[in-house]
Structures are given as C-alpha cells and as structure tokens.
C-alpha cells in the first residue's frame, strides 16, 4: 500500500495538534494510529482514493478528529465534513468514469 499510508505519521501530528496534544505526549498515538488507518481504509472502500497530498492529509485528519471527538455524542457528521466527503466522492467517480451515483 502507498499513498496516504506513507503519510500516516503526518496525519497523526495534525490530529494531535487539532486535539491540543503535545508531540511529546505519545499516550494516544496507538489509538489514533488505529483510527487513522481505519478511516483511510473506509475512505478507499467507499471509493475515495487518498494520496500523500496536503489536502488528503487534512481531509483524513478532519475525519479522524471528528470521529474521536464525537464518539460518545449523538448526531451525525457535520454538514461541512459530509459535503467535503461527498465532493471528493463525486470527483473520484468523475475521474474514474463510473456511471454509479
């Protein structure tokens, strides 16, 4: 595997910064790494390819941080994130020439 899987350490640093965790605090690292890998696999499973770009790293960190912060809260994905995911899926479908909608 390549692409975003090569950039997991960058995504981890972004997530920790967004969660106000110091880089030296390694206590959440294993948990966050598992969440990052699971979120990346989920995005690819639903047809959103991820690469080693700044946009992809930020998108994945947005997903992971939202999941982490809302794991015990009711409600769905916020509109801004849901729309960002939808736009990425549509772009991937258009690039791949798929007729599925």
Q: Given this model, what pLDDT does residue 73 score?
A: 83
Domain total in the chain: 1
Gyration radius of the chain over CA positions:
14
| Closest to 18 measured CA to CA, from 53, 77, 58, 51 | 58
Task: Give the range of the structural domain holding residue 30, as residue numbers without chain letter.
Answer: 3-96
Per-residue pLDDT of the chain (101 residues; tens, 9 = 90+): 456 777 899 999 999 999 999 988 898 999 999 999 999 999 999 999 998 899 999 999 999 999 999 988 888 899 999 999 999 999 999 988 555 54
DSSP line for 31-60: HHHHHHHHHHHHHHHTT----SSHHHHHHH
Answer whether residue 37 is part of any domain.
Answer: yes
Answer whether residue 88 is part of any domain.
Answer: yes
Q: Given this model, what pLDDT does residue 1 score?
A: 44
Answer whether residue 101 is part of any domain.
Answer: no
């Amino acid at each position: 595997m390549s692409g975003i899987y090569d950039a997991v350490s960058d995504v981890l640093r972004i997530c920790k910064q967004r969660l106000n965790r110091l880089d030296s605090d390694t206590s959440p690292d294993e948990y966050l790494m598992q969440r990052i890998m699971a979120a990346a696999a989920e995005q690819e499973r639903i047809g959103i390819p991820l690469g080693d770009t700044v946009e992809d790293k930020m998108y994945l960190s947005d997903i992971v941080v939202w999941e982490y912060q809302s794991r015990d809260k009711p409600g769905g994905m916020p509109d801004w994130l849901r729309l960002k995911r939808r736009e990425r899926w549509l772009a991937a479908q258009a690039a791949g020439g798929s007729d599925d909608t």
